[in-house]
A and B are shown apart, each in its own frame.
Chain A
């Protein structure tokens, strides 16, 4: 109760005077008494207001003549969207955004709000997490307005609707829900809006907060909203009838509803011819399976089912393991943990050192471990490949899931060999069947089986076959293109 009460007190501005008192505590709050020719009080946050607007528009405007009322001043200053208000709540919000306040006297309740805010942030740059060789090279930045600009310029439609909320009792972060009206289903929109409104937390630093807070099952290791830093990918999602969530201060947008297979499709898949795209997507899916299962299969087969190893491989495997002092399970856990260690170290260190550590760790430690007889070289190859395979996922979040998920499999393998692996897999399949993304099934199009949605799941059919939007998003308008006669098969010499 206590904390909540205090938060509310912080939010309540009370009068302008109490606001002033609070702000005056900060060094960057400037109160300037203008005298000639117009006597008035100008106050603003030095760090948030643009000095250019102040010096070139506001001060010259006030110099013109003696202006007796705020209305007069408003007319004199050549800046758009000036407003006059006496609502303390609004004044607080605006002044914190960098607006300049003008009052006739310091105790006046009526104030003039002049937008002069300036925001520091980086420029739009190339995507770093979801890099693609071909295709657009723009990525979202931390500024919501810039991000909206990136979307609006791709979808010049009046139907592109942006609903804005502010979330976080202290941070008051702007959160935008974007969708195309007439395509996106209201049920989904309402669900998203409802869940966003229900968020009760004091801060909202990044969009990943939202992923965790509005997820249908927050205990699941699987992310239930897809995050992307690519405006083109988000545009694609919007066109399919999905809903995007943008958070001010986060360079990652969220799209929902999503499915498990979507996490394994890359933007590249749409920039390449469909057969190549399909082949690469299948390779990626295989890589994921390999990454999850390879080490557990190693444990299962070596510990319980050595009959399965073909004769030629048997000699290789036995001789590589001949002097290893640990059973396969320990060997695998040690090696998997050291790979995780390298990954964590690589992620925390500055880019350049990170690369060095990766090479040092990978090559030097790996070779030394094999030479010292601590691990077998067969396993080293498997673990390194499975680590590599887990990086092929286009979405970073799911690759974290894959990292974690393989450990239960290893335990299952140690206990009951392949049957243990099967049991863990059954658990995860069951879990995925249960899982929902904003109220729609997460395991689609496998279950519920949606054959029409399979055209862009494990394979990607050519664009002229993508006549319908996915059923998954329950779009209001599902037709994408009118199948034309031009695509019809022609007979020879016609």
Chain B
């Protein structure tokens, strides 16, 4: 009986004291995309887009409102943006963060810390480097049916899932950022008039961007980095352009020899089919296929080894060879590894198997 009374008391007091200030979802400025530009050595400019959902516009696209502010740190910049808004900022649904190239080259340490520390930010949110100003990129209008955030996030996700771009998100970035013997990478996007396109891959040394490759080489990087089953690669074969569509590539890292003098072998197996041949007269018979396969193998191998050489010269390790070594051999020593990394022999073995040539021979 006493219990029931106490329950009544709780419920009653909940009504009285429980009505603290709360903001329901439509009363918040839900930021979906944020961009950070370089201002000077210790200041950055933050730009955010806030979708404006209206009652009548539920069928069409919401419009977006843009705000930007300059300050020393991300949080302070956000606070500055807050001053210009009628609704409290909510960072919880942040889908993509953009960094302009100059800022990236100066280091992203504080932004990474902010993204990693805030429990409200999803670990699947995307990061990307932008060639040029992020503010302009965010504030431009691209599509009638999509908001900027949805457009850019869709662009990157689509390229990861169905095309040549390797997998990336906030968690993957933090993983590589903190891991021993591994460095992060991010996509580079660039605005061209009325659209945005993926420009290449940016490679980081710690929090600083030090290297980039064009998008045309992304396929080579992706086959070395992960298993995947999409993407296309074209090569010259006897003056003809032949395009290989990857339907399944597998990469295995082999560590040869001990911790003192490690050697690496990347064993890559690609299954694919040919779906575009420039010269219609080229008959894809058994022997021809064999030599096409060999050509692909040679070209890809040369390009991959070249790419790794560049990494070694810059002392960056986006493939995570050091991490592999640490997982394969006992007594891994980071200092020592960093010393030997530029000279470690890395060999790439590529095995291409063409299993289909389409429905015309």
User: Contact residues of A with B, CB < 8 Å?
Assistant: 219, 302-304, 306-307, 309, 311, 314-324, 327-328, 373, 408, 411, 414-415, 427
- Decide: A327 near B22, CB < 8 A? Known: A306-B30, A311-B150, A319-B55: yes
Spot the interface stretch: B34-42, B89-97, B254-262, B266-274: B89-97
B150/A322 in contact, CB under 8 A: no
B30/A408 in contact, CB under 8 A: no
A314/B30 in contact, CB under 8 A: yes
A-B contact pairs, 18 of them (CB 8 A): A219-B4, A302-B24, A306-B25, A306-B28, A306-B30, A306-B93, A311-B95, A311-B150, A314-B93, A315-B53, A317-B25, A318-B25, A319-B55, A322-B26, A324-B26, A327-B22, A328-B24, A373-B55
- Give the 4 A-B residue pairs with the shortest CB-CB distance, closest first: A307-B92, A306-B25, A319-B58, A318-B53
Q: Which residues of A contact B359 (CB under 8 A)?
A: none
A303/B28 in contact, CB under 8 A: no
B57 at the interface (CB under 8 A from A): yes
B14/A415 in contact, CB under 8 A: yes
Q: Which residues of A contact B345 (CB under 8 A)?
A: none
A408/B120 in contact, CB under 8 A: no
A321/B93 in contact, CB under 8 A: no
Name which of B18, B90, B122, B150 has the most chain A CB atoms within 10 A of its CB: B18
- Decide: A411 near B14, CB < 8 A? Known: A319-B53, A319-B55: yes
Q: Which residues of A contact B7 (CB under 8 A)?
A: 427
Distance (Å) between the CB of B86 and the closest chain A CB?
Answer: 14
A411 to B93, CA, bound (A): 26
Given contacts A314-B25, A415-B18, 14 further A-B contacts (CB under 8 A): A302-B24, A306-B25, A306-B92, A307-B120, A307-B122, A309-B25, A318-B30, A319-B55, A319-B62, A320-B58, A321-B24, A322-B54, A327-B24, A415-B14
B51 at the interface (CB under 8 A from A): yes
- Decide: A411 near B24, CB < 8 A? Known: A306-B30, A319-B57, A319-B58: no
A373 to B58, CA, bound (A): 14
A306 to B7, CA, bound (A): 29
Counted as pairs of residues, one from A and one from B, with CB atoms less than 8 Å apart, the total is: 72
Question: In chain A, what residue has the closest Cβ to B147?
Answer: A315
B62/A321 in contact, CB under 8 A: no
Within B84-124, the residues touching A (CB, 8 Å) are: 90, 92-93, 95, 120, 122
The total of chain B residues at the interface (CB under 8 A) is 29
A415 to B57, CA, bound (A): 32
- Decide: A306 near B51, CB < 8 A? Known: A311-B95, A321-B24: no
Pick from B4, B22, B53, B55: contact of A304, CB under 8 Å: B22
B11/A408 in contact, CB under 8 A: yes
A316 to B94, CA, bound (A): 18
Q: Which residues of A contact B30 (CB under 8 A)?
A: 306, 314, 318
A316 to B26, CA, bound (A): 11
Question: In chain A, what residue has the closest Cβ to B119?
Answer: A307
Distance (Å) between the CB of A379 and the closest chain B CB?
Answer: 12
A328 to B11, CA, bound (A): 19
Within B22-75, the residues touching A (CB, 8 Å) are: 22-26, 28, 30, 51, 53-55, 57-58, 62
Q: Which residues of B contact A327 (CB under 8 A)?
A: 22, 24
A321/B26 in contact, CB under 8 A: yes
A319 to B90, CA, bound (A): 17
Question: In chain B, what residue has the closest Cβ to A416?
Answer: B18
- Decide: A316 near B15, CB < 8 A? Known: A306-B30, A306-B92: no
Question: In chain A, what residue has the closest Cβ to B62?
Answer: A315
A307/B93 in contact, CB under 8 A: yes
Distance (Å) between the CB of B119 and the closest chain A CB?
Answer: 10
A307 to B125, CA, bound (A): 12
* Chain B 289-327 per-residue mask, 1 if CB under 8 angstroms from chain A, else 0: 000000000000000000000000000000000000000
B93/A318 in contact, CB under 8 A: no
Distance (Å) between the CB of B141 and the closest chain A CB?
Answer: 17
Distance (Å) between the CB of A348 and the closest chain B CB?
Answer: 28
Question: In chain A, what residue has the closest Cβ to B120?
Answer: A307
Q: Which residues of A contact B62 (CB under 8 A)?
A: 315, 319
Name which of B25, B30, B62 has the most chain A CB atoms within 10 A of its CB: B25
